[in-house]
């Protein structure tokens, strides 16, 4: 009975602590939403906290009418989808090959991949490599360099090695090729880890802006985060220039809050659809037979 009370007390304390951490993460989002939806009088006087005061939708009317934001959104969605698909394909094929004991040079290849996990390519050689391949000022410069990562290869290799070898042997007896086993057996069984790695990579690509600043010169190819940086971080009059007279019923602070939410909301909406797979994938390797 005493043990049950202690367990119950621990669960309550643990729940309260986690709730506190959750509120610290949700509060900034609520504050941004409140500022963007409030009347300019209250927002300019900094009287808005977690709830809007004087409902005002002019900020989002302005944002939805900005063609440059929609173009940057399209670029970001394109590089996120294409980059994630390429990442999963390359990572899973290499990991599957390394998980098979009969693969030649698997030990040497794995060591080479681990070297890239410890040492990153310096910026200048990376830039020269991108320019030599003719990918500078193209969206390929934002897709190809991050299309393969040692972390994902190690995770998927560990997962493939944990699959039952009897299933693979049965498929071979039935005449299935190695690629057929990978495509028809290994990949369908890897839904959880694929969803987890896809989410990690998609979030990273969506939030990335550094390589776009280095490699992209054409403003029409700027992803959303680069445009967001220009409007919010640099604060050099870009908001007034792009928005023009449409923002007469809002302040720069309100526009910044609305643009940040607009750029963050799409990737947040992905989480509920991948949550069940994400939990399974995050627990990969925590249970042993």
Residue 244's pLDDT is: 54
pLDDT tens digits for 40-69? Answer: 887 777 788 888 888 888 888 888 888 888
- Top mean-pLDDT range of 37-51, 201-215, 225-239: 201-215
**CA–CA gap between residue 167 and residue 121 (Å, rounded):** 39
Report residue 254 as tokens: 């309100």
103 pLDDT band, cuts 50/70/90, is confident
CA atoms within 13 A on the CB side of 27: 8
Closest listed residue to residue 82, CA positions, set 92, 74, 71: 74
Residue 119 is given by DSSP the state S
232 pLDDT more than 50:
yes
Average pLDDT over residues 118-146: 85
Mean pLDDT, the chain, whole residue set = 80
- Per the CB < 8 A criterion, the answer to whether 171 and 185 are in contact is yes
84 pLDDT more than 60:
yes
Report residue 289 as tokens: 């037979």
pLDDT tens digits for 250-280? Answer: 777 888 888 888 888 888 887 777 766 666 5
């Amino acid at each position: 009975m005493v043990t049950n009370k202690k367990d119950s007390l621990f669960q309550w304390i643990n729940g309260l602590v986690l709730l506190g951490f959750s509120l610290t993460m949700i509060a900034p989002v609520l504050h941004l939403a409140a500022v963007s939806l409030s009347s300019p009088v209250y927002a300019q006087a900094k009287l808005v906290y977690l709830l809007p005061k004087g409902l005002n939708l002019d900020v989002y009317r302005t944002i939805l009418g900005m063609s440059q934001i929609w173009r940057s959104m399209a670029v970001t969605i394109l590089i996120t989808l294409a980059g994630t698909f390429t990442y999963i394909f390359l990572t899973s094929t290499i990991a599957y090959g390394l998980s098979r004991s009969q693969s030649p040079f698997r030990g040497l290849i794995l060591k080479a991949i681990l070297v890239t996990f410890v040492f990153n390519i310096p910026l200048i050689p990376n830039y020269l490599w991108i320019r030599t391949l003719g990918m500078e000022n193209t969206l390929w410069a934002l897709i190809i360099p991050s299309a393969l990562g040692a972390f994902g290869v190690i995770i998927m290799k560990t997962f493939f090695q944990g699959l039952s070898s009897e299933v693979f042997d049965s498929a071979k007896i039935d005449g299935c090729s190695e690629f057929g086993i990978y495509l028809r057996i290994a990949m369908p069984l890897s839904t959880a880890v694929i969803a987890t790695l896809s989410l990690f990579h998609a979030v990273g690509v969506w939030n990335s802006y550094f390589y776009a600043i280095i490699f992209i010169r054409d403003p029409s190819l700027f992803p959303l985060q680069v445009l967001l940086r220009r409007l919010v971080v640099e604060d050099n009059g870009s908001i007034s220039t792009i928005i023009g007279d449409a923002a007469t019923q809002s302040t720069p602070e309100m526009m910044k809050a609305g643009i940040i939410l607009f750029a963050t909301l799409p990737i947040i909406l992905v989480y509920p659809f991948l949550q069940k797979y994400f939990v399974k994938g995050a627990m990969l390797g925590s249970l042993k037979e």
